[in-house]
């Protein structure tokens, strides 16, 4: 016997992200939504949360300068269901929503409105808000918060049945209304039918802008069900100033650190360990204090990252060791049990299994074979002033201290490079290479 379980259709078919603000208080030449939070633009965090809700479309409302930013264009292309709508003049949130569907109506039965400068909001909270709206058969559901200082927030006025009847902007609120602690977060869910009413809103007589908040009172008078959903305060932090960005970074890092601990990672000091939004860390990784991990990093099981190390765009494989005071970047790979030690920089480096460079070296555009030992002070001279070149060191080779390897260069397996050498030509397999002047001793 087979049973067919009919699941309710997801009504949040369209998600709109408002990102056309002028960011005056942020004091930056580029849009604040393109500033990084834990290694990714603020807007990317909103896009990720939206995409995780599996909408039929994501519409990003952008200003003309933002829409022309190459980084923004590249970011949008990473989301197949995303498109851009331009708000040519900043005329308020309702006008921004109008712009989103000026060329085409929403694809589904409802619309969710997010803000590009509220990056900590999670997909699970968005889905809970949507479920709340469905449970109450709402036409509008506003996500609310109760901040310690509500100054600047619109106040949500509710009736005796706990239904939302209107939202009053802070500057228009009476003294009694300013005592209301329930505030509008700017995150909304509404039916497509309500969206049609947004298009009929009149501009504010004082500012000339069109406010989305006005639609609540119109809908309530018409008998529509307007409700609210209390969102987590730490997810609803809006980024308006550099101080806000710093606070958001602190909250984001706390999330990432606790996630790492829950996955079996040892952190010597949470306060001085920094992750990125996409950091992948396996169990039994140990991270010492003052470590900064940028985007694109994977740390496999048993890796140790020693103190004062910076890593980005790298894959550190099983039981490898990095640092202290190491710098790794630009698609570097350290294979199993490799060691990149104190004051060593690796850039576009591939160190194979068991290879070691323990002290004071620069290895750029290099392939280091299995069980190679690179002595202190080794430099791969990869740049000729115009192009970068590769150095390849064969397995089981010993490179002495204080050596300069002038790329392009191939050093064969089981070879030895004498300390203090400047190597300009390829070294055959099982050879000793010396590139230094003969020592001369003279009596004083």
CATH of the domain at 179: 3.90.550.10
Assign residue 381 the CATH number of its domain. 2.160.10.10
Range of the domain at 419: 263-433
pTM for the predicted model, two decimal places: 0.90
Domains contained in the chain, number: 2
The pLDDT score that the predictor gives to residue 171 is: 82
Residue 442 lies in a domain: no
Extract the residue ranges of the chain whose pLDDT is less than 70: 1-12
CA 278/CA 40 separation, integer angstroms: 9
Does one domain contain both 176 and 284?
A: no
Residue 240 lies in a domain: no
Does one domain contain both 209 and 282?
A: no
Does one domain contain both 218 and 306?
A: no
Does one domain contain both 66 and 182?
A: yes
How many whole angstroms from its chain centre is CA 439? 55
The pLDDT score that the predictor gives to residue 157 is: 93
Cα separations (Å) of 230 from 113, 208, 427? 16, 30, 69
Does one domain contain both 268 and 397?
A: yes
Q: Which of 371, 362, 413 is nearest to 392 (CA)?
A: 413
The pLDDT score that the predictor gives to residue 216 is: 92
Tokens of 331: 């698609």
CA 354/CA 330 separation, integer angstroms: 21
Residue 225 lies in a domain: yes
Residue 141 lies in a domain: yes
CA 49/CA 350 separation, integer angstroms: 34
Active-site amino acid positions: 359
How many whole angstroms from its chain centre is CA 304? 24
Residue 357 lies in a domain: yes
The pLDDT score that the predictor gives to residue 6 is: 32
Residue 440 lies in a domain: no
Estimate the crossing angle of helix 70-77 against helix 42-52, to 10 degrees: 20
The pLDDT score that the predictor gives to residue 192 is: 87
Does one domain contain both 267 and 183?
A: no
């Amino acid at each position: 016997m087979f049973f067919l379980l009919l699941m309710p259709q997801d009504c949040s078919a369209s998600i709109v992200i408002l990102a056309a603000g002028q960011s005056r208080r942020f004091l930056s030449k580029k849009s604040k939504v393109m500033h990084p939070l834990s290694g990714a633009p603020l807007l990317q965090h909103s896009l990720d949360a939206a995409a995780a809700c599996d909408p039929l479309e994501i519409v990003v409302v952008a200003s003309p300068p933002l829409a022309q930013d190459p980084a923004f264009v590249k970011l949008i292309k990473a989301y197949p269901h995303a498109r851009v709508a331009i708000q040519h003049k900043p005329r308020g949130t309702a006008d921004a929503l109008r712009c989103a569907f000026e060329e085409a109506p929403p694809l589904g039965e409802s619309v969710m409105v997010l803000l590009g400068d509220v990056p900590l909001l999670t997909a699970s909270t968005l889905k809970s808000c949507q479920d709340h709206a469905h449970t109450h058969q709402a036409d509008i559901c506003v996500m609310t918060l109760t901040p310690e200082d509500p100054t600047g927030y619109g106040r949500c006025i509710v009736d005796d049945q706990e239904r939302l009847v209107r939202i009053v902007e802070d500057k228009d609120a009476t003294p009694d209304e300013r005592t209301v602690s329930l505030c509008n977060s700017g995150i909304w869910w509404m039916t497509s039918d309500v969206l049609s009413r947004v298009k009929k809103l009149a501009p504010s007589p004082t500012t000339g802008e069109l406010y989305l908040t006005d639609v609540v009172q119109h809908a309530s008078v018409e008998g529509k069900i307007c409700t609210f959903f209390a969102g987590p305060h730490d997810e609803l932090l809006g980024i308006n100033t550099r101080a806000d960005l710093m606070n958001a970074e602190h909250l984001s890092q706390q999330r990432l650190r606790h996630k790492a601990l829950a996955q079996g990672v040892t952190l010597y000091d949470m306060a001085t360990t920094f992750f990125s939004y996409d950091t992948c860390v396996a169990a039994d990784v140990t991270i010492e204090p003052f470590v900064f991990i940028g985007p694109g990093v994977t740390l496999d099981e048993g890796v140790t990252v020693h103190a004062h190390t910076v890593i980005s765009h790298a894959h550190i494989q099983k039981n490898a060791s990095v640092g202290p005071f190491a710098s790794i970047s630009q698609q570097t790979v350290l294979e199993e049990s490799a060691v990149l030690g104190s004051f060593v920089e690796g850039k576009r480096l591939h160190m194979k299994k068991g290879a070691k460079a323990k002290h004071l070296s620069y290895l750029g555009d290099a392939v280091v074979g299995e069980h190679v030992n690179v002595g202190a002070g080794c430099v791969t001279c990869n740049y000729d002033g115009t192009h970068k070149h590769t150095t390849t060191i064969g397995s089981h080779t010993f490179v002495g201290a204080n050596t300069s390897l002038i790329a392009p260069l191939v050093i064969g397996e089981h070879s030895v490079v004498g300390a203090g050498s400047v190597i300009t030509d390829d070294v055959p397999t099982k050879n000793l290479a010396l590139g230094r002047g003969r020592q001369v001793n003279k009596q004083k």
